[in-house]
Chain A
Amino acid sequence: MIKKLNNKIKNKEISSDDLVKEAITKAEKSQKKLNAFVTIIKDAKEVKSNNLLSGIPVAIKDNFSTKDILSTGSSNTLKDYIPYFDATAIKKIKAAGAVIIGKTALDELGMGGTGLMAATGPVKNPWNINKITGGSSSGSAAAVAAGIVPYALGTDTGDSIRIPAAHCGIVGYKPTYGMVSRFGVFAFASSLDTVGVLCTSVEDAAIVIDQIKGKDEYDMTSWNSENINLLASLDGNVKNKKLFYIKEICDINNYEEKTNELIKTLEEFNKTIEKCQELGIKVEEVSFDQKLLDSIYPTYLTITSAEATSNMSNLTGIIFGPRGKGNTIDEMMKDHRTRGFSSLIKRRFVIGSYVLQKENQERYLFASAKIRHLIVNKMNELFNEFDGLILPASSEPASNINGDRSAHLRTEQYLAIGNFGGYPSITIPSGFVNDMPIGINITGKIKDDANILNIAYALEKKLGYKNQTAKGWE
Chain B
Amino acid sequence: MNHKFTNEEVINLADKLLIGISEEEVKDIVEELTFVADSMNVISEIKEIDGLEPLTHPFNLYETSLREDDDYEEGHDIEDLLSNADFTQGREIEVPKVVG
* Neighbour of B83 across the interface among A82, A215, A302, A373, CB < 8 A: A82
Contact in complex: B13, A177 (CB < 8 Å)? no
Q: Residue among A192, A224, A326, A349 with the most chain B CB within 10 A?
A: A349
- Given the contacts A295-B42, A327-B96, A369 and B56 also touching, CB distance less than 8 Å: yes
Contact in complex: A373, B10 (CB < 8 Å)? no
Contact in complex: A343, B25 (CB < 8 Å)? yes
Contact partners of B76 in chain A: CB under 8 A: 84-85
Contact partners of A330 in chain B: CB under 8 A: 18
Contact in complex: A354, B56 (CB < 8 Å)? no
Question: Which range holds the interface residue count of chain A?
Answer: 35 or more
Q: Give per-residue flags for A362-394: 1 if the beta carbon is below 8 A from chain B beta carbons, else 0.
A: 011111111111101100000000000000000
Contact partners of A320 in chain B: CB under 8 A: 84-85
* Neighbour of A292 across the interface among B10, B21, B46, B55, CB < 8 A: B46
Question: Which range holds the interface residue count of chain B?
Answer: 35 or more
- Given the contacts A291-B46, A295-B42, A320-B85, A370 and B19 also touching, CB distance less than 8 Å: no
Nearest residue (CB) in A for B26 is: A350
Contact in complex: B19, A374 (CB < 8 Å)? no
- Given the contacts A328-B96, A330-B18, A367-B44, A421 and B25 also touching, CB distance less than 8 Å: no
Contact in complex: A318, B40 (CB < 8 Å)? no
Nearest residue (CB) in B for A341 is: B19
Is A351 interfacial (CB 8 A cutoff)? yes
A376 to B35, CA, bound (A): 24
A431 to B20, CA, bound (A): 45
Nearest residue (CB) in B for A357 is: B13
Contact in complex: A319, B84 (CB < 8 Å)? yes
Contact in complex: B81, A84 (CB < 8 Å)? yes
Return B77 CB to nearest CB of chain A, in Å. 8
Is B63 interfacial (CB 8 A cutoff)? yes
Contact in complex: B84, A371 (CB < 8 Å)? no
Q: Residue among B52, B53, B61 with the most chain A CB within 10 A?
A: B52
Contact in complex: B84, A81 (CB < 8 Å)? yes
CB proximity to B under 8 Å, residues A285-326: 289, 291-292, 294-295, 297-299, 301-302, 309, 313, 316-323, 326
A89 to B55, CA, bound (A): 27
Is B8 interfacial (CB 8 A cutoff)? no
Is B95 interfacial (CB 8 A cutoff)? yes
Contact partners of A337 in chain B: CB under 8 A: 17-20
A353 to B16, CA, bound (A): 9
Is A420 interfacial (CB 8 A cutoff)? yes
A327 to B52, CA, bound (A): 49
Return B48 CB to nearest CB of chain A, in Å. 5
A231 to B16, CA, bound (A): 49
A221 to B95, CA, bound (A): 35
- Given the contacts A82-B84, A223-B62, A343-B28, A370 and B52 also touching, CB distance less than 8 Å: yes
A84 to B40, CA, bound (A): 43
Nearest residue (CB) in A for B54 is: A369
- Given the contacts A82-B84, A84-B80, A346 and B21 also touching, CB distance less than 8 Å: yes
* Neighbour of B19 across the interface among A80, A349, A377, CB < 8 A: A349
- Given the contacts A221-B57, A372-B55, A373-B49, A350 and B18 also touching, CB distance less than 8 Å: no
Q: Residue among B21, B43, B46, B95 with the most chain A CB within 10 A?
A: B43
- Given the contacts A291-B42, A302-B36, A334-B19, A421 and B28 also touching, CB distance less than 8 Å: no
Contact partners of B42 in chain A: CB under 8 A: 291, 294-295, 298
Is B87 interfacial (CB 8 A cutoff)? yes
Return B64 CB to nearest CB of chain A, in Å. 7
Contact in complex: B46, A350 (CB < 8 Å)? no
Contact partners of A332 in chain B: CB under 8 A: 95-96
Contact partners of B32 in chain A: CB under 8 A: 347, 351
Contact in complex: B59, A177 (CB < 8 Å)? yes
Is B86 interfacial (CB 8 A cutoff)? yes
Nearest residue (CB) in B for A446 is: B59
Contact in complex: A366, B54 (CB < 8 Å)? yes
Is B39 interfacial (CB 8 A cutoff)? yes
Contact in complex: A421, B59 (CB < 8 Å)? yes
- Given the contacts A350-B17, A373-B54, A80 and B84 also touching, CB distance less than 8 Å: yes
**29 interchain pairs (CB within 8 A)?**
A81-B84, A84-B77, A84-B81, A178-B62, A191-B58, A224-B63, A295-B46, A298-B40, A298-B42, A299-B43, A316-B18, A318-B85, A318-B93, A321-B84, A338-B19, A338-B21, A343-B22, A346-B19, A347-B32, A350-B14, A351-B36, A353-B17, A366-B54, A370-B55, A371-B49, A373-B49, A373-B55, A422-B58, A423-B58
Please list the 5 inter-chain residue pairs (A to B) with the smallest Cβ-Cβ separation, ordered nearest first. A422-B58, A369-B54, A298-B39, A338-B20, A320-B84
Given contacts A301-B36, A370-B52, 14 further A-B contacts (CB under 8 A): A191-B56, A191-B58, A223-B62, A224-B63, A291-B42, A294-B42, A297-B39, A322-B86, A368-B54, A369-B55, A370-B54, A371-B46, A374-B49, A422-B57
